[in-house]
A and B are shown apart, each in its own frame.
Chain A
Amino acid sequence: MQTKKIPHPGWNLEYMMWMFTRLSGLAFFFLAITGMAAALVMGARNQMDLGTLMRWTFFPNPNHVLDSNIPNVDIWANGFWQIMQMLVIFFGGTHGLNGLRVVIEDYTSRPAWQIITRLVFFVLWVFMILAAVYVILAS
């Protein structure tokens, strides 16, 4: 049985994803603080309850705040927030699916399984991001 290779700094998948996981983790805090601060500047204090503010914080999409008593969601739907949503979904999808891949590879040992896992996760990753971008652009 082969032992697991320790990822060394360099241009290999394990190290790049290790770095990406940390950086995207920090990016979530940055994106959440930006979303919440901007929502409060745009008047969320008078228009939203806490749950609505949280939904905007995690994913700043006008569909997320439809049920609240915001008189006009048009000011929330513009290119800036669409780019923010795409950043959230890119960081979230990549961070999450890579994490699931790492967990699965911890419990499988055959090289064939590794190839299958990586293929399946690559396909899932592409489809999840495409579906989310479609929802963002169509909403």
Chain B
Amino acid sequence: MALDRKVGFLDGVRYKGGGPMLAWALHRISGLGMIIFISLHVVASFFTQQMGSDWAININIIYESPYFQLLIVFTVLFHGLNGMRIIILDLWPKMLRYQREMTWLQWLIFIPIYSLTIFIMLQRVLAGG
């Protein structure tokens, strides 16, 4: 039974929640992304393995392309780091005072790891791998 917010979509977008709100929205979006990608990947693997069907192989070819992999790495890495921040805040609620700083710290960890991923993957793409 959901809350009756009576808040429209545009009001929700205009709400000035800042960094933590962006993290909340991205956590949900990346979670939805992952459940779609991974469910399709599991189903496609099942049909590839059992029947070798063309559409299942095509789904896995899209899944394994470098550009799609960059998207998957973004969702997994962001969801993992943000989930870690949520677990830390749940275990030590006193840290909630510093949640903005923790969001910044999270991006500070995310950006170097993701940049390295982009670098390595683009290097392979440009080398024709």
Q: Using a CB–CB distance below 8 Å, which chain A residues touch chain B?
A: 1-5, 22, 25-26, 28-29, 49-51, 58, 63, 89, 92, 96-97, 99-100, 103, 105-109, 111, 114, 128, 131-132, 134-135, 138-139
Contact = CB atoms under 8 A, between A and B. Distances in A.
A75 B38 CA distance: 26
Given A5-B1, A22-B90, A109-B2, A96 B46 contact: no
B11 interface: no
A63 B45 contact: yes
A106 B49 contact: no
A61 to B, nearest CB: 9
Interface string B75-87: 0100010011011
8 contacts: A3-B4, A4-B2, A22-B87, A22-B90, A25-B83, A51-B124, A96-B35, A97-B35
B71 interface: no
A65 B10 CA distance: 45
Interface string B14-58: 000000000000001001101100110011011001100000000
Nearest to A67: B64
